[in-house]
A and B are shown apart, each in its own frame.
Chain A
Amino acid sequence: QITLKESGPTLVKPTQTLTLTCTFSGFSLSTSGVGVGWIRQPPGKALEWLALIYWDDDKRYSPSLKSRLTITKDTSKNQVVLTMTNMDPVDTATYYCAHTGKLWFDYWGQGTLVTVSS
């Protein structure tokens, strides 16, 4: 059974760096073809893909946010970490991590709401 869960701060101040951790079980990020992605959703709005990391440490980012994002993995801990720098109120959203094999997302975490406010 595959499960994922996001953790991190619920409130960050403008200009701060956000660090989110995705802890998963039921699969290994050392298995060929497996990836974990991050997707966010501002309140009442659509989904936006942010970043994806593969089993071989290949990393891909949304071009519009690339300069602010870093995705890393710790295979031994079954974790993926996303950092986003220079947070702004427009970055207020629910952040999801999700499992992927072929670029669709078949298992999702419950999401974590991050509010950016001073």
Chain B
Amino acid sequence: EIVMTQSPATLSVSPGERATLSCRASQSVSSNLAWYQQKPGQAPRLLIYGASTRATGIPARFSGSGSGTEFTLTISSLQSEDFAVYYCQQYNNWPPLTFGQGTRLEIK
């Protein structure tokens, strides 16, 4: 099973600043990685697939990068609606499909 490790667990950033979230895979997942955003009481929302392709309707301030075992989600200028929990998910070696434990992005 591929273990996905996200860091940091909590990230405090001011609105308008840049946020950088990390996801590491226990073995290579090539570019088969997705990112999701989840707000309290809501289902996850797909942001990025293929490590760097934005899903339909996702603003350009969200960008993904990386391949192999190291991945980054960058939010270039944080808006109030971006404060949420973010999860990465690998789909290279499965079953199982595996998610990271999440990074909580909070207002500084």
Total interface residues on A, CB under 8 Å, equals: 22
Contact partners of B44 in chain A: CB under 8 A? 47, 96, 105, 108
Contact partners of A110 in chain B: CB under 8 A? 42-43
Whether A55 sits at the interface, judged by CB under 8 Å, is no
Contact A108 B94 (CB under 8 A): no
Complex interface bits, A85-105 against B, C-beta within 8 A gives 1, otherwise 0: 000000000001010001111
Contact B49 A46 (CB under 8 A): no
Contact B94 A60 (CB under 8 A): yes
Within the complex, what minimum Cβ distance (angstroms) separates B68 from chain A?
18
Contact partners of A106 in chain B: CB under 8 A? 46, 49, 55-56
- Chain B contact-residue range equals 20 to 34
Contact partners of B34 in chain A: CB under 8 A? 104-105
Whether B15 sits at the interface, judged by CB under 8 Å, is no
Contact A103 B94 (CB under 8 A): yes
Contact partners of A103 in chain B: CB under 8 A? 32, 91, 94, 97
Kindly identify, within residues 52 to 66 of chain A, every residue whose CB is under 8 Å from any CB belonging to chain B. 52, 60-64
Contact B91 A63 (CB under 8 A): no
Whether B98 sits at the interface, judged by CB under 8 Å, is yes
How far apart are the CA atoms of A27 and B96 in the complex, in Å? Answer: 25
Among B43, B45, B89, point to the contact of A109 (Cβ < 8 A): B43
Within the complex, what minimum Cβ distance (angstroms) separates A35 from chain B?
11
How far apart are the CA atoms of A105 and B47 in the complex, in Å? Answer: 10
How far apart are the CA atoms of A48 and B98 in the complex, in Å? Answer: 7
Contact B43 A47 (CB under 8 A): no
Contact A63 B95 (CB under 8 A): yes
Within the complex, what minimum Cβ distance (angstroms) separates B22 from chain A?
16
Complex interface bits, B88-103 against A, C-beta within 8 A gives 1, otherwise 0: 0101001111111110
Kindly identify, within residues 60 to 108 of chain B, every residue whose CB is under 8 Å from any CB belonging to chain A. 87, 89, 91, 94-102
Give 16 pairs: A residue, B residue, CB < 8 Å, sorted on A.
Answer: A46-B101, A47-B44, A47-B99, A49-B89, A49-B95, A49-B97, A49-B98, A62-B95, A96-B43, A102-B91, A103-B32, A103-B91, A103-B97, A104-B89, A104-B91, A109-B43
